[in-house]
Amino acid sequence: MRILVTGASGQLGSSLRKAAENSPNEYIFTDADDLDITDPEAVALGVGCNDFQAIVNCAAYTNVDRAEEQEDIAERINATAAGYLAKAAADNGIPLIHISTDYVFGGNLGNTPRTENEPLNPTGAYGRTKLHGEEAILKSGCRHIIIRTAWLYSEYGKNFVKTMLGLTSTRPQLNVVFDQTGTPTYAQDLADAIVDIIDNGKIDGNEGVYHYSDEGVCSWYDFTKMIAEIAGNTDCDIRPCHSDEFPSPVVRPSYSVLDKTKFKRTFDLEIPYWTDSLKICINNLK
């Protein structure tokens, strides 16, 4: 099988490249320079003429704050391009695996983990554009697996773990919000799961929307404390603070834990606990 992967230089795309190293299938990794997914003709030609048997769309506009000022750009990448890929998948009779986000829920819906069928009501541009992407895929009629994830980090690019590693090693004191709760997700864990789904033929018959994050729950404050502890950055005094001490144009959910029951039952996969994966990532970075 030949699998097209978009967004190859991002966190998940880079992790997928590692996950696919020993795969019997051929994964073709592309970025905007290789395939402009915002160009419908380029997508139709790129998918239709290269004998792909599946598409994994990792490409996304992920800057949550900046999306408020650049919603048109975010819409083009997160929604319009997703629609083009979905149409190409439908036209060629192949499945699309698309990565979405917990931000499609928006608001504060209590402290129960979000299931796939709960109401969607994003409160910011990033969440709106990602929801529009999901809707475009559903409208296309293509075979699809949409995976919503959250709090993604890795050894690649800019992310919370790498930022906190730097700050806790250089600052004597650091304030981090404690009133936003979720689950850190190691991109390599998600990438490994996606490759398992593809390589073991688990797509057909399992189309739909799923949630994936690592196991467990923490706040950003707890996350930072664990990062510093694993890295040995014990000289930094990390203190909890409220979200309103860091003004933002986006209302972030106070509780953003995803229920992974459907994913685990459907694909028969175990999901690592977040601190175990965090140790692996930090050790790789060190």
What's the CA gap between 231 and 214, in Å, rounded?
20
What's the CA gap between 222 and 272, in Å, rounded?
18
126 is catalytic: yes
What's the CA gap between 123 and 61, in Å, rounded?
16
**Residue 255, beta-bridge partner list:** 181
Of 27, 61, 103, 126, catalytic = 126
What's the CA gap between 178 and 254, in Å, rounded?
9
- Chain centroid, CA 48 distance in Å: 26
What's the CA gap between 211 and 134, in Å, rounded?
13
* CA distances in angstroms from 125 to 45, 57, 190, listed in the order given: 30, 20, 25
- Unique residue bearing structure tokens 């051929």: 26
Roughly how many angstroms between the first and final C-alpha of the chain, as a whole number? Answer: 36
Token readout for 139 is 């409208």
Helix axes 220-231, 160-170, angle to 10 degrees: 60
Collapse the DSSP code of 26 into the 3-class scheme (helix H, G, I; strand E, B; otherwise coil) and give the result. strand
As annotated, the active-site residues are 126
